[in-house]
Amino acid sequence: MTTKAPVITIDGPSGSGKGTIAKLVADKLGYSLLDSGALYRLTALAALDAEVDLADEKRVAEIAANLDIRFAIAGGEVSAVLAGKDVSRDIRMERVSMAASKVAALPAVREALLQRQRDFRELPGLVADGRDMGTTVFPDAPVKVFLTASAEERARRRFDQLQGRGVSVSLRDLLEDIRARDDRDMNRATSPLAPAEDAVVLDSTDIDIEGVLQQVLELVQERIS
């Protein structure tokens, strides 16, 4: 039997900081990184471009199964390349976020993306960020983290981020959006957002990024020799 590369799963709701933490942990350990949300976003973008009805489960799943994607790393930044085109900015657009959360609720789409996600596992190890990394995709991962923060704190962080970019938004609208996405993620039938039984739940409401990073690295030291 071949030795499987260790996986560190970081799951949690939108805005919990899991993407930032996953990137820092992967950099620190020299591991590969899987941003599973990007796969749902790429599926959504490809379906929108092909003008496929997002409720047509069979066709959207076919798109997911045949995605021509590549993640390129340059200057420490990861870009998403769809059919040879850099779509890193396009997949963050609001209409794609909405479409991603719709296609993510389709069981056939989740099934089509399962093996693609597992294919990211390689030595020396993988950090996988998403909603169901510890429960469904990598149930045998030695380190599982569920990163959360209060909805108010997550909305405030997003507010600061957007204000910093000169975008004017209402904190109340952001809080409503976050609550709606939490609700959709936690209440879907297939792979709903929930901590794995053996996950360590970290609440980042009152801890900064450095503090969370420290706790994750301590877990890695305990569990991955």
Residues at the interface with ligand C5P (CB under 6 A): 14, 36-37, 40-41, 100-101, 104, 130-132, 185
The structure tokens 């609700």 sit at: 183
Q: Is 107 or 222 the residue whose CB approaches ligand C5P more closely? A: 107
Least spacing, CB of residue 155 vs ligand C5P, in Å: 15
The H-assigned helical ranges of the chain are 18-29, 36-49, 57-65, 94-103, 107-118, 151-164, 171-187, 209-223
Q: By C-beta, is 132 or 177 nearer to ligand C5P?
A: 132
Smallest gap from residue 103 Cβ to ligand C5P (A): 8
Handedness of CA 163, 182, 177, 130 (dihedral sign): positive
The residue number with the shortest CB distance to ligand C5P is 37
Residue 28 Cβ vs ligand C5P, minimum distance, rounded to whole Å: 21
Which lies closer to ligand C5P via its Cβ, residue 128 or residue 220? 128
Select 109 or 202, whichever has its Cβ closest to ligand C5P: 109
108 touches 57 (CB < 8 A): yes
Q: What is the CA radius of gyration of the chain?
A: 17
Query: Which amino acid, residue 211?
Result: G
